[in-house]
Amino acid sequence: MSTQPQHHSYRKSHLAQLEAEAVYIMREVAAQFERPAILFSGGKDSITLVHLARKAFAPGKFPFPLLHIDTGHNFAEALEFRDWLAESTGAELIVRYVQDSIDQGRAVEETGPLASRNSLQIVTLLDAISELKIDCAIGGARRDEEKARAKERFFSHRDAFGQWDPKNQRPELWNIFNGRKAQREHFRVFPLSNWTEMDVWQYITREGIALPSLYFAHPRRVFRRGSMLMAESEHLPLLAGEATEERTIRFRTVGDITCTGAIESVAESVDAIISETAALRVTERGGRADDQRSEAAMEDRKRQGYF
Amino acid sequence: MTTATQLPPGVRLVEPARAHDPYRDMDLLRFSTAGSVDDGKSTLIGRLLYDTKSIFEDQLEAIEGATKRRGETGVNLALLTDGLRAEREQNITIDVAYRYFATPKRKFIIADTPGHVQYTRNMVTGASTAELAIVLVDARKGVLTQSKRHGFIASLLRIPHIVVAVNKMDLVDYSQDVYDAIRQEYTEFAEKLDIKDLIFIPLSALEGDNVVSHSANMTWYEGTTLLHHLETVNVGADRNLVDFRFPVQYVIRPHQDFRGFAGRVASGTITPGEEVFVLPGGRQSRIRSLESADGELHEAVAGDSVVVTLEDEIDTSRGDMIVRKMNVPTVATRVDAMLCWMNDEPLDPSVSYILMHTTRQVKAYVSQIHYRVDVDTLHRQETDSLGLNDIGRVELTLAQPIFLDPYQINRVTGSFILIHPHTNVTVGAGMIRGEAKTTAELFAHGGGDQATAISPNVVWEGWNVPREERETRNGHKATVLWFTGLSGSGKSTIAARLERRLFERGCQTMLLDGDMLRHGLNGDLGFSPADRRENIRRVGEVSRLFFEAGNIVLCTFVSPYRDDRDRVRALLPEGRFMEIHVDCSLEECQRRDPKGLYARAAEGSIRDLTGVTSPYEEPVNPEFVARSDIHSADDIAVQLEVRLDADGILKA
């Protein structure tokens, strides 16, 4: 105790509180599970997870490999970033391919011009979890992203088939996390549950976390599809009436190229992105084709074992 | 790290921000909301999100569309927050949902708890992390049993701030009479509960009255708006910054020369160099360093995730607890607790559950169910089991000890969950009252908690004017503060400063000093062990009389024997005896020697002097340790006043 009055600096800033909470969760995972892994999507949330994992176990190394489920529809920059991050942190990188699941007949590719491999990732992910005997997959999902996620737990139980039952979740009280499970069951753990998009950006700038260049404004050939701007790509054949043009854009999320929309932007720094985010009137996931399919789209995918 | 020139083009380094930015450094408030099915809770949250511009256009469009499809007009704000499909179909919220919004003043996390069948379980869950609770009351319906239930659970979970939002004022013509009646009825009910801060706000979530801006329809209401209250309520003072508790979470050992204990400070503060104990076992060491990824820290505070290294090689692992040498928790295998049952399968006394407490897991069974609380009437009912949504007082027997504090003073070391050993599901949530005592132990301690002890055969008539009435008139609770420590440690000085502070804020106080009583009442007693014992017995009885008269009684006595102090403690109800160890090294006391006693002992003119020629038994588990060799008497007096405030003593 200092000789100063009690109440001065003991109240921590929101970022300090969120960081301490996420670090606590990371350590709970390491203590309660045998073979945990970080689900690495290449997006800023999973990059933030890796940063938090480093901080949680410093001066040691964090005890999780990075697992990337590759749809094959990648931005080249995202892969460059992934490999660089794995190398610079010394983390083990495990990649499993949706293409392999398709070739093995475990997943059937959607057809048509709006086909996406997004839902096929579920198969590859669940196969990887059972192949690698992963008992806990750490994900970067946040509760503010989407309505169905607002009720997600930090420690989210999945049955032996990888399914989530929203009506029968374990109550989660105080900061006590119950990671007990039967054989073949696993957990998804979300250390960023209480973070908002703004918190993540503010934390990135506070900590100086490197990101894929895709997040910053850059010129790119894009075309308009519905309300979204999509990147020109061999995986996205143009429909009648669509044409590409060069625009200055950036991405708010980084995922499968076929369902990640860009926004027009001149934000070249994190500070500029933060100002833009503060003024933006559309959610991050508003740029994702997969969520727009039905009002309950996310919930349906989650029940089946989506990230 | 790779340098910038070798970076692949897909990687962008980000410079850590150096300039201070108030938006990166905001305060965070976690609050819960509870309401019955039609109280308009979802609408209120929707209104807060909408009016603070926390809703994005695509969300709004989706809701406008959904509103239309349901054949309604306008924007149904409730649709923003009712997440799951089942809820949308049944129009009912069924699980705790978390929402986020921010204003330029604060960030907020809402635990939105539903108001129907599974509701106690959900309300308890949402309340467990909240610092403030909003209880919704429908102005048309008045105070329903459900609104009372919310208040009870909020007080049970010790949420320090409660806001009763009297909603739908638009449907009662914004009538002040309606509001006043609800306010009065709820205030009367809340007097039975332990709520530190209770306020009322009349509002209309649908129309936006008094949510974000003052209502032109209720000019008679001069209080704050809901949002203004949320932005300004002082929640910093509610944490326990006194009792250092560090549950070891994970051991970090990157190489032979580094062995660090990772964890989150549960309460209190710690600095490098301080003497610590490691439980179980009580092995002693000092803090060598407090490590973080950003470098060594000079202090760690409640809530911080850090890595602790110790001076000595001590075999320590997950589930152990590092505490200050002079301030240790209770180590117990029998626990007295309030338990909320959260599973369809009722509590089964024959099952060995798994009890999770901080980072420790032990087997435990429920050895006794004292009673169940009817959450609507607050009456106690006899029962032999607890079913879903029941709350009861139980005794648990544990296979190994846990290191606990009462939930009332420590939300982290005072809480636990029970897990079913076969299904692995969390079935119960517990709030610890303390170590469980047998009936024999209770009798030996003269009754213990008066409200619940089994009546002894002696009929006690009670005081003519009950203490509770005196406390209500005084505006604060009665309590006994027992200062123990060596002669010259500063007991009298600290107590005198504290008494003056309390007196000046209007408290009824009495200071009982060793020397003073030895001049009169105890003038016949010497300093032999038997006389010392009798001295303390009389003092205990005197302090109890002042206590029953409604005073905050400050007692300053060397009181070297543990048994004697415990006997005084047993005269008073639970939570009304604060043992304060005024801890000062003998050398420092000898140096100060305000009464010249040490000098006289050295000359041989005094035979019995505590600490020199007769023993001093240090308190094992004092409520407060005052390091008078480090802190000034004034600082300690302030700390004690803060503590009394936090314990709710300074309120009636």
- A297 in Cβ contact with A290 (< 8 Å): yes
Measured between beta carbons, which residues in chain B are less than 8 angstroms from residue A199? 107
Measured between beta carbons, which residues in chain A are less than 8 angstroms from residue B301? 10, 12
Please report the pLDDT score of residue B70 as a whole number: 67
Residue of chain A minimizing CA distance to B342:
A171
Please report the pLDDT score of residue A4 as a whole number: 36
Task: Report d(CA A198, CA A146) in Å as an integer.
Answer: 15
Measured between beta carbons, which residues in chain B are less than 8 angstroms from residue A299? 83-85
- Model ipTM value: 0.87
**Which CATH number describes the domain made up of A14-199+296-304?**
3.40.50.620
Q: Best interface-test mutation with A: which of B23, B105, B109 has the largest number of A CBs within 10 A? A: B109
Listed residue (B138, B201, B194) closest to B171, CA to CA: B138
Between residues B451 and B47, which one has the greater pLDDT? B47
Angle between helices B491-504 and B633-646 (to 10 degrees): 50
Listed residue (A27, A53, A176, A12) closest to B304, CA to CA: A12
Residue of chain A minimizing CA distance to B24:
A202
- Report, at the CATH architecture level, how domain B245-324 is classified: Beta Barrel (2.40)
Between residues A33 and A274, which one has the greater pLDDT? A33
Location of each CATH 2.40.30.10 domain in chain B: 245-324, 331-443
Is some CB atom of chain B closer than 8 A to the CB atom of A141? Answer: no
Location of each CATH 3.40.50.300 domain in chain B: 22-238, 467-646
The CA distance from B186 to the nearest CA of chain A, in Å, is: 28
With cut-offs at 50, 70 and 90, classify the pLDDT of residue B492. Answer: very high
Is some CB atom of chain B closer than 8 A to the CB atom of A304? Answer: no
Domain residue ranges in chain A: 14-199+296-304, 211-291
Reported as a single tens digit per residue, the pLDDT across B384-418 is 999 988 999 999 999 999 999 999 889 999 999 99
Reported as a single tens digit per residue, the pLDDT across B15-69 is 888 777 777 788 899 999 887 667 788 788 888 888 887 766 666 666 667 666 7
- B146 in Cβ contact with B115 (< 8 Å): yes
Please report the pLDDT score of residue A1 as a whole number: 36
The CA distance from A12 to the nearest CA of chain B, in Å, is: 7
Average pLDDT rounded to a whole number, residues B438-462: 41
Is some CB atom of chain B closer than 8 A to the CB atom of A282? Answer: yes
Please report the pLDDT score of residue B453 as a whole number: 31
Measured between beta carbons, which residues in chain A are less than 8 angstroms from residue B12? 210-213, 215-216
Please report the pLDDT score of residue B457 as a whole number: 36
Local structure of residue B6 (DSSP, 8 states)? G
Selecting from 3.30.70.600, 1.10.10.10, 3.40.50.720, 3.40.50.300, what CATH number does the domain B467-646 have? 3.40.50.300
Reported as a single tens digit per residue, the pLDDT across B229-250 is 999 998 877 788 889 999 999 9
Task: Report d(CA B182, CA B141) in Å as an integer.
Answer: 9
Q: Which of A167, A198, A283 sits opposite B56 (nearest CB)?
A: A283
Say whether B455 is catalytic: no
Please write down the HEC assignment for all residues of B325-366: CCECCEEEEEEEEEEEECCCCCCCCCCCEEEEECCEEEEEEE
Please write down the HEC assignment for all residues of B254-323: EECCEEEEEEECCECEECCCCEEEEECCCEEEEEEEEEECCEEECCEECCCEEEEEECCCCCCCCCCEEE
Is some CB atom of chain B closer than 8 A to the CB atom of A127? Answer: no
Q: What's the one-letter identity of residue B329? A: P
Q: What's the one-letter identity of residue A14? A: H
Task: Report d(CA B73, CA B78) in Å as an integer.
Answer: 13
Please report the pLDDT score of residue B55 as a whole number: 65
pLDDT above 90 coverage of chain B, percent: 50
For β-strands B479-484 and B509-513, DSSP reports them as unpaired
With CB atoms and an 8 Å threshold, state whether B12 touches A211. Answer: yes
Over 50: is that where the pLDDT of B459 sits? no
With CB atoms and an 8 Å threshold, state whether A166 touches B419. Answer: no
Please report the pLDDT score of residue B452 as a whole number: 33
With CB atoms and an 8 Å threshold, state whether B415 touches A55. Answer: no
With CB atoms and an 8 Å threshold, state whether A167 touches B94. Answer: yes
Catalytic residue among B155, B267, B559, B628: B559
Is some CB atom of chain B closer than 8 A to the CB atom of A211? Answer: yes
Over 70: is that where the pLDDT of A14 sits? yes
At the topology level, CATH places domain B22-238 in Rossmann fold (3.40.50)
Between residues B595 and A5, which one has the greater pLDDT? B595
pLDDT above 70 coverage of chain B, percent: 88
Token match 């338990």: residue? B339
**Which CATH number describes the domain made up of B331-443?**
2.40.30.10
Task: Report d(CA B186, CA B167) in Å as an integer.
Answer: 14
Average pLDDT, chain B: 86
With CB atoms and an 8 Å threshold, state whether A280 touches B56. Answer: yes
Is some CB atom of chain B closer than 8 A to the CB atom of A86? Answer: no
Is some CB atom of chain B closer than 8 A to the CB atom of A275? Answer: no
Measured between beta carbons, which residues in chain B are less than 8 angstroms from residue A173? 124-125, 128-129, 415, 417, 426, 429
What value does the CA radius of gyration of chain A take, rounded to a whole number of Å?
Answer: 20
With cut-offs at 50, 70 and 90, classify the pLDDT of residue B191. Answer: confident
Q: Which of A3, A17, A172 sits opposite B28 (nearest CB)?
A: A17
Reported as a single tens digit per residue, the pLDDT across A225-272 is 887 899 998 888 888 888 999 999 999 888 888 888 899 999 999 988
Reported as a single tens digit per residue, the pLDDT across B70-101 is 666 666 666 666 554 445 455 444 678 888 88
With cut-offs at 50, 70 and 90, classify the pLDDT of residue B194. Answer: confident
Q: Give B502's contacts (C-beta < 8 A, 6+ positions apart).
A: B509, B552, B641, B644
Measured between beta carbons, which residues in chain A are less than 8 angstroms from residue B326? none
- B63 in Cβ contact with B76 (< 8 Å): yes
- A194 in Cβ contact with A144 (< 8 Å): no
With cut-offs at 50, 70 and 90, classify the pLDDT of residue B498. Answer: very high
Task: Report d(CA B37, CA B147) in Å as an integer.
Answer: 11
Is some CB atom of chain B closer than 8 A to the CB atom of A279? Answer: no
Q: Which of B107, B305, B635 sits opposite A20 (nearest CB)?
A: B305
